[in-house]
Structure 1
Amino acid sequence: MNRTMVTAVNTLGQLHKQVDLIGHNLANAETAGYKSREASFADLMAQQINNYSSAGSEVGRQSPLGIRQSPGARISQTAMLSKQGSLKTTGRPLDIAFTKENQYLKVRVQEDGTSQIRFTRNGELDIVNAGDQWVLATKDGHLVLDENDQVITFSGKVEEVKMIQPGTLEATMDNGQNIAFRLGVIALNKPQYLEQMGNTLLGLPDGADNNINQIYSDLNGARRQEISLQQGVLEASNVDIGKEMTDLMASQRSIQFQSRSITLADQMMGLVNGIR
């Protein structure tokens, strides 16, 4: 196949992935706690062509001899942007927002019949009935965990919730009893190690169990003073719609360019085949 076509086809596939990523960011522009992602490109493995040109024609050349041709570009990384999102006041007691970057709630989710711990900054919480007890859950139904990775439960109906310390909430039951509970909060040391598990969920990749302490730290004990939470507000996504639209137009132009390259290569091969 013509090298121009190979390069264009390889790059086109990666550009479409970038467009999908931009579309995902735009679709979650109004999702509380969502962190946008950005694609970075790199060349595919280049081929070295030794043309053995004469020494006289290479005077002043500083790059290595020969020609290096790459068959296109690929997405090398989709980096999560941890920048703090703006805060929206809701006045709802069960709405909480982190005011420091890289702090996350711990939640328990069900995936493929197994229970997994995930992390989220979406603080839109609710207390829902679970049979003979009540549980604290996210808007998406994921169970919120305490500092010991246990599901936060209540034996009766909750009348009021207020924050009494960083990361500590106090619930007033319908019988007048006050129950304090500590939210499970982590601080990410290496955010890029985590994988996107949903719109606002992050999780550890396979095989990362031995490096947990390097990837994140539990904010327990004396470190709970580092928790920065605000009640009655939600953190908006950090998606910059203007930037995303600009990137989208640039990607579409690149797609047009690569498509045009295929057309021109086809026309050139047609001319060659038509030579008599």
Structure 2
Amino acid sequence: MNRTMITATNTLSQLQKQMDIISNNIANIDTNGYKRRDSTFTDLVAQEFRNQPHDRLEQNRLTPFNIRQGTGAKIAQSQIVLSQGSLKTTERSLDTAFTAEGQMFRVLAQNSDGSSAVRLTRNGAFYLSPLSDNETMLVNSDGHPVLDESSRPITFTGKPTNITVSATGTITASMPNGSKQEANLGVVFVKKPQFLEQKGDNLLGFPDNLDALGVTENDIITEMAGPERGGISIKQGALEQSNVEMSKEMTDLINVQRGYQFQSRSITLADQMEGLVNGIR
């Protein structure tokens, strides 16, 4: 395999990853609160060959000294874009939507190994799930418990007849006997979204190697509790749509497919050239 094939193969694998990212964005265009990912490319390490024994022999050269030969390109970063999505009015009391960028709800999700972990989401479609005859829990559309500002599941004693959510994230349940129960929704502000990973079910979480990355959870998010709750901006009776733009994603997909075709063509041409060389007698 010659260098042309190696360079093209390296780039092809990365273009396939970018195609997967774009396809995932398109597949979630109707997912409430979904945030798209954008990927950027960078060159792989290039090799430099000295074509002259001394730099003085390169006098009057306008290009950099020596000969540089690349080895392809790779995805430098795949980052979540937290731009605001459009709001869809539902008039449903348990539907909530953030009207400010970077804010997310906290939910408690189950891992594949049976353990639990705190996850983040912008999907504010909530439901009441009965725990017993006299107790209900606030959950998201996948049944994961919604957490309060103290990271505890939000539960109500009795069967609420009405639910209201304030602009600063205080949920109030009115009971048949006229009493009211309140809880503060757990909300965080994401400062460094590039460190968040998609964990499935439209949930985001922290990477497992935070220590190796040299960051802590507090470097990535800010807990919006206490005085910080005044900055929360929530609208009741509405849901945030995804921030995926179909026209942009389709344009990006076409560009990636063209790049994929060019790299595949490079491999074909390199193979034909080797065939010609091997055929020389």
TM-score band, normalised by shorter chain: over 0.9
Percent of aligned pairs with the same amino acid? 51
- 1:202, CA displacement in angstroms? 1.2
2:205 corresponds to:
203
Alignment partner of 2:142 out of 125, 140, 152: 140
User: For residues 173-196 of structure 1, what are the alpha-carbon distances to aligned partners after superposition, in whole Å with 9 as ceiling and x for unaligned?
Assistant: 233321111100111121212112
1:59 corresponds to:
60
Q: Distance in 1 between matches of 2:53 and 2:278?
A: 30
User: For residues 152-183 of structure 1, what are the alpha-carbon distances to aligned partners after superposition, in whole Å with 9 as ceiling and x for unaligned?
Assistant: 01122121101245110111123332111110
Q: Distance in 1 between matches of 2:208 and 2:17?
A: 23
AA aligned opposite 2:147: L
1:113 corresponds to:
114
Report whether the alignment pairs 1:212 with 2:213.
no
- 1:199, CA displacement in angstroms? 4.7
What are the equivalent positions in structure 2 for 1:181-260 lying under 5 Å apart?
181-208=183-210, 211-260=216-265
Mean alpha-carbon deviation: is it higher for 26-35 or for 70-79? 70-79
- 1:244, CA displacement in angstroms? 0.2
Alignment CA distance shift 1:131-1:68 (3 Å): farther
Q: Distance in 2 between matches of 1:23 and 1:30?
A: 13
Q: Distance in 2 between matches of 1:22 and 1:199?
A: 18
2:126 corresponds to:
125
Q: Distance in 1 between matches of 2:177 and 2:206?
A: 41
Q: Distance in 1 between matches of 2:217 and 2:16?
A: 34
Conserved? CA contact 1:34–1:199, under 8 Å: no
AA aligned opposite 1:76: A
Alignment partner of 2:270 out of 248, 260, 265: 265
AA aligned opposite 2:238: V
Q: Distance in 1 between matches of 2:243 and 2:266?
A: 36
Conserved? CA contact 1:189–1:217, under 8 Å: yes
Alignment CA distance shift 1:260-1:207 (3 Å): closer
AA aligned opposite 2:114: G
Residue 142 of structure 2 aligns to a residue in which SS?
Answer: coil
Alignment CA distance shift 1:258-1:165 (3 Å): closer
AA aligned opposite 1:116: A
What are the equivalent positions in structure 2 for 1:24-43 lying under 5 Å apart?
24-43=24-43
TM-score, normalising length: structure 1: 0.95
AA aligned opposite 1:7: T
TM superposition outliers: structure 1 runs of 4+ over 4 Å: 53-58
Q: Distance in 1 between matches of 2:114 and 2:154?
A: 21
Conserved? CA contact 2:52–2:58, under 8 Å: no
Residue 51 of structure 1 aligns to a residue in which SS?
Answer: coil
Q: Distance in 2 between matches of 1:109 and 1:62?
A: 56
Aligned residue-pair number:
275
Q: Distance in 2 between matches of 1:77 and 1:177?
A: 51
- 1:204, CA displacement in angstroms? 1.3
- 1:208, CA displacement in angstroms? 3.0
Residue 45 of structure 1 aligns to a residue in which SS?
Answer: coil
TM-score, normalising length: structure 2: 0.93
Residue 78 of structure 1 aligns to a residue in which SS?
Answer: strand
Q: Distance in 2 between matches of 1:143 and 1:40?
A: 35
Q: Distance in 1 between matches of 2:82 and 2:252?
A: 19
Mean alpha-carbon deviation: is it higher for 211-220 or for 134-143? 211-220
Conserved? CA contact 2:32–2:123, under 8 Å: yes
